[in-house]
Protein backbone atom coordinates (compact mmCIF):
# COMPACT_ATOMS: atom_id res chain seq x y z
CA UNK A 1 0.00 0.00 0.00
CA UNK A 2 1.35 3.40 -0.98
CA UNK A 3 0.19 6.54 0.90
CA UNK A 4 0.85 9.79 -0.99
CA UNK A 5 0.47 13.32 0.40
CA UNK A 6 -0.32 16.12 -2.06
CA UNK A 7 -1.01 19.84 -1.65
CA UNK A 8 -2.67 22.17 -4.16
CA UNK A 9 -3.26 25.76 -3.10
CA UNK A 10 -5.28 25.88 0.12
CA UNK A 11 -6.26 22.20 -0.08
CA UNK A 12 -4.37 19.02 0.58
CA UNK A 13 -5.10 15.35 0.45
CA UNK A 14 -3.70 11.92 1.05
CA UNK A 15 -4.33 9.12 -1.42
CA UNK A 16 -3.93 5.43 -0.61
CA UNK A 17 -3.05 3.34 -3.65
CA UNK A 18 -2.46 -0.33 -4.22
CA UNK A 19 -1.24 -1.54 -7.62
CA UNK A 20 -2.08 1.87 -9.17
CA UNK A 21 -5.65 1.56 -7.92
CA UNK A 22 -7.08 4.13 -5.52
CA UNK A 23 -8.03 2.57 -2.20
CA UNK A 24 -8.97 5.78 -0.39
CA UNK A 25 -8.58 9.52 0.02
CA UNK A 26 -8.56 11.93 2.96
CA UNK A 27 -8.79 15.66 2.24
CA UNK A 28 -8.01 18.71 4.31
CA UNK A 29 -8.14 22.49 4.05
CA UNK A 30 -5.25 24.72 5.03
CA UNK A 31 -6.76 27.20 7.48
CA UNK A 32 -3.54 29.07 8.26
CA UNK A 33 0.20 28.62 8.54
CA UNK A 34 -0.20 26.37 11.58
CA UNK A 35 -3.70 24.87 11.20
CA UNK A 36 -5.41 22.37 8.92
CA UNK A 37 -8.96 21.01 8.91
CA UNK A 38 -9.55 17.40 7.90
CA UNK A 39 -12.89 17.54 6.10
CA UNK A 40 -13.45 14.24 4.32
CA UNK A 41 -12.41 10.58 4.31
CA UNK A 42 -13.37 8.09 1.64
CA UNK A 43 -12.34 4.43 1.41
CA UNK A 44 -13.35 2.27 -1.53
CA UNK A 45 -15.69 -0.54 -0.40
CA UNK A 46 -13.27 -3.25 -1.55
CA UNK A 47 -10.74 -1.93 1.01
CA UNK A 48 -13.06 -1.57 4.01
CA UNK A 49 -11.75 -3.11 7.23
CA UNK A 50 -8.09 -2.91 6.24
CA UNK A 51 -7.16 0.22 8.21
CA UNK A 52 -6.80 2.43 5.13
CA UNK A 53 -8.41 5.44 6.81
CA UNK A 54 -6.12 5.12 9.82
CA UNK A 55 -3.02 4.88 7.60
CA UNK A 56 -4.05 8.03 5.73
CA UNK A 57 -4.70 9.87 9.00
CA UNK A 58 -1.27 8.89 10.31
CA UNK A 59 0.30 10.31 7.13
CA UNK A 60 -1.37 13.68 7.78
CA UNK A 61 -0.40 13.54 11.47
CA UNK A 62 3.22 12.86 10.48
CA UNK A 63 3.19 15.93 8.20
CA UNK A 64 1.57 18.04 10.94
CA UNK A 65 4.30 17.07 13.41
CA UNK A 66 7.06 17.89 10.93
CA UNK A 67 5.57 21.33 10.21
CA UNK A 68 4.32 22.07 13.76
CA UNK A 69 0.71 22.24 12.56
CA UNK A 70 -2.43 21.57 14.58
CA UNK A 71 -5.45 19.68 13.21
CA UNK A 72 -9.19 20.24 13.53
CA UNK A 73 -10.96 17.00 12.54
CA UNK A 74 -14.36 17.97 11.09
CA UNK A 75 -14.65 14.68 9.21
CA UNK A 76 -16.58 12.21 11.42
CA UNK A 77 -14.05 9.43 10.81
CA UNK A 78 -11.06 11.61 11.73
CA UNK A 79 -12.87 13.01 14.78
CA UNK A 80 -13.60 9.48 16.02
CA UNK A 81 -9.98 8.44 15.52
CA UNK A 82 -8.74 11.45 17.52
CA UNK A 83 -11.10 10.41 20.33
CA UNK A 84 -9.82 6.81 20.32
CA UNK A 85 -6.08 7.21 19.68
CA UNK A 86 -3.98 8.86 22.38
CA UNK A 87 -0.80 8.75 20.28
CA UNK A 88 -2.05 11.44 17.85
CA UNK A 89 -3.63 13.90 20.28
CA UNK A 90 -0.48 16.04 20.34
CA UNK A 91 -1.49 17.56 16.99
CA UNK A 92 -5.17 18.06 17.89
CA UNK A 93 -6.26 21.71 18.08
CA UNK A 94 -7.71 22.22 21.56
14-65 pLDDT, tens digit per residue, is: 999 999 899 999 999 999 999 999 999 999 999 999 999 999 999 999 999 9
Which residue intervals of the chain are DSSP H helices? 52-67, 76-84
State which CATH number among 3.40.630.30, 2.40.40.20, 3.90.400.10, 3.90.190.20 fits the domain covering 2-91. Answer: 3.40.630.30
The strand order across the sheet containing 2-8 reads 2-8, 11-18, 21-32, 35-43, 70-73
Q: Which of 40, 47, 55, 63 is nearest to 85 (CA)?
A: 55
- Read off the pLDDT of each residue in 78-94 and give the average, rounded to a whole number: 96
Residue 82 above 90 pLDDT? Answer: yes
Under the banding of pLDDT at 50, 70 and 90, the label for residue 94 is confident
The pTM of the full predicted model, rounded to 2 decimals, is 0.94
The span from the CA of 73 to the CA of 37, in Å, is 6
Q: Which residue ranges make up each domain of the chain?
A: 2-91
Amino acid sequence: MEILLKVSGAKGFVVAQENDRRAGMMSYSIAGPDLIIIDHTDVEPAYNGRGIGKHMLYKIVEMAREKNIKIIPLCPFAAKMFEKLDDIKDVLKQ
